[in-house]
Amino acid sequence: MSTSTSHRRAQLRRHGFLILSPLPTANFPFLRYTSLLMDSITTLDNLWMGRPRSIAAGLLESDGHRTVVDPGPGSTLETLHRRLQARGIGVGDLDAILLTHIHLDHAGATGALVRKNPRLAVYVHRIGAPHVIDPSKLLASAQRLWPNELQRLFGETLPVPVENLRILDGGENLKLGSRQVEVVYTPGHASHHVSYFDKTAGVAFVGDTAGVRMEGNSFVMPATPPPDIDLGIWDTSFAAILERKPARLFLTHFGYSENPSEHISLFRERLHRWAALTAEILRTAASDAAATDSFMSATYAEISEHLPADEAAHYAFSAGLNLSFLGLARYLRKRATAAS
C-alpha cells in the first residue's frame, strides 16, 4: 500500500468512515461517495472573550485537504484547537490558511499555527503580506486603539515566515482538495481585503466586507475601524460579490447569511447612513470625545430598535462602535483634506 493510500485511509478512519479496499475508487462508486461526504464547511466558533457567535473561523475539508479561513486572534487559539480536535483534526493536519485580511481578530493566530505546522500555506493579499511577516506596525497601531486591553483581547501575534506566504492580488483560482475557490479583491473595510468564493458550495467568505450580522438575525451593521476604510471603493466590492451570485455569505461576525443581495443592500444603506451621521457629528460636536459619545449613543439606540437588549449589546461589542466612529471620522477627514 502506497504512503498516500495509507495516509488517506488514516484520514478516513479519523472521520469514522470505514474503508474496505485500497483499490482505486473508480471501481467502487460507494468509496467516491465517502469522499463526497468529506467535502464540508464547518463554522468554528472561537468564543472570543467567552462570547458565543462573535468570531467565526471556517473549516473547509475536501478530499483530505483542510483549510481554515480566518483562524481568529491569538487569544482564541486554544478554542480553535479544541474545535479542530472535536473533528479529529490537529494543527499538523491543516494544509492552508486563507486570510480575508490581516486585522488581529481574523489573522492574529496565524503565526502561532505556522510555528506548530511549518508546512501551512498562508494566503494573503499583497498589501497585507508585509504586516504578517513583521506585525510590529500592526501591533503598534492596535496598541493605540486598545492601550490597556490588547493582550486580553487578541493574545499573542507571532510573525509568519515569508516562505509560508502565498501572495494574492485577486483573480486567482485555488484548488483546495477538489474544491474550487476564486479569490476576489474586495477592499472597503481594509485596503488589502479579499473574499473567497467557494464555487463548489456557492459560499462567499467575505470577512468584514459585508459587515456584522449574527446568524439567525436579520439586522446587519457596519464595522468600520481605522485606518483605511473607503466607502467609494467598497461599492465596487459589493458589485464584485453580487456578480458572482453566491447562494450564501459567510461572515466572520458571525456565520451564514442566506440572502446575499438583500443583505448587501441593507448593509450598504446603513453604512452610508452612518457615514452621513458621522459627518454631521463632526460638524457640530464640541470635542472629539463628545463626537464619539454622540455617535455611540445614536447608533446604539438604532441597534436597540431592532434587537433585544442582550443581542444589541453583543452586536455593539463585536463590531466595536467606538472604532467604527474613529474609522469613519478618519475617512471623512482624509477626503476633506484631499478635496481642499
Residues that bind Zn ion (CB under 5 A): 105, 208
Cα–Cα–Cα angle for 151, 317, 222, rounded to 5 degrees: 115
Min dist. Cβ of residue 153 to Zn ion (A):
12
**In the complex with Zn ion, which residue's Cβ is closer, 95 or 105?**
105
User: CA-CA distance, 187 to 166, in Å (whole number)?
Assistant: 19
| DSSP, residue by residue, 272-337 | HHHHHHHHHHHHH-SSHHHHHHHHHHHHHHHHHHHS-HHHHHHHHHHHTHHHHHHHHHHHHHHHHH
- What are 198's three cell numbers? 467557494
Min dist. Cβ of residue 13 to Zn ion (A):
36
Min dist. Cβ of residue 54 to Zn ion (A):
10
**In the complex with Zn ion, which residue's Cβ is closer, 38 or 184?**
184
**In the complex with Zn ion, which residue's Cβ is closer, 41 or 56?**
56
| CA distances (Å), origin 306, targets 69, 146, 210, 215 | 30, 28, 18, 15
**In the complex with Zn ion, which residue's Cβ is closer, 11 or 186?**
186
Min dist. Cβ of residue 294 to Zn ion (A):
24
**In the complex with Zn ion, which residue's Cβ is closer, 185 or 254?**
254
Going by C-alpha positions, the residue among 65, 46, 66 that lies closest to residue 55 is 46
Min dist. Cβ of residue 104 to Zn ion (A):
9
User: CA-CA distance, 240 to 236, in Å (whole number)?
Assistant: 6
